[in-house]
Structure 1
């Protein structure tokens, strides 16, 4: 099957910027108490109940953070370049190249799934299938936490982290994402929308959901 163009473009872009992205994002959690609060809540709710996937893990900074909070966590990312950086930076953790739309994971195998700004490169009309895949790999009682930029538009990115790139990013309405969760059989437990912080241009949203059971 031919790979969708948006998947190829996203992989190529993140392979291109992997090293620069990792350096730029390395200390972002230090300046975002909102991010730390949501990740900490997620970690406390999941606890020692099973394995956690950081899906769209990039250079692994949040995989490492969740591990420091006591979770049994591994990372998956579309970009081999990002996975290479993550493996080098966190050699004690497991990272695999893979697609969120077709995870190489058994049904109900995860106690938690993190999709941190990793839904934003999939066209909205394709998101129902992706969210259904995330729900598939969650065990009953498992949690899904996602974060994304608020809006309702497609943005084409032609330059990032000092490199020429070409890919799309989507700002999403929180009600739309909450509806995707509900359609996939998940129960929304928390929703937070916060004001933008420099250099952000729009509000940011966090949604936390649970798989019934």
Structure 2
């Protein structure tokens, strides 16, 4: 099944894709390096050589590259913080909607008076959740709150947005908007690596976050391994 994957920091540390062929495609918005094997392709949204922070990612090039390569179905894996007590670190979720108010939507319509209805297709999520059920529980129908980054949110900011959604991150809304504009079907998966700053009495900094991501590496590897089998 022809499917492209978009992932982040967990891919940098994974050996699961070490044998995949590394390629580069030129787009109107810049070059994109990706890995491929058979009918599957993988983009690390942060890049491979010099990982970019969320606000500097070339989202338009990444999504345009997948469209130019002929992909329609996109599966995204994001690292997120939890805004809910009952969604602890280590939980996998799928988001069906999102909030992105801190910055304008990412768009390809720079010189056209047009726009599109936002959304997340999640057309592959039923197939994936069913296939993964023996090993992984995916909490579906969640709402993603996007912030700009690269710093984490202050405790006061979390108090403001904690009722806006279920998880918080810095990337998925831009990708979903761009996929929708190009007619690509965006599928949301996310791993909760931490409680949001101040939630459940926690404090977070980047060093702690990196350790939390590292702790979840084996689970991410296994999830990807199973998804590749399901979508073969």
TM-score (norm 1): 0.34
Q: Where is the helix percentage greater, Structure 1 or Structure 2? A: 1
TM-score (norm 2): 0.32
More relative contact order, 1 or 2 (CA 8 Å, 6+ apart): 2
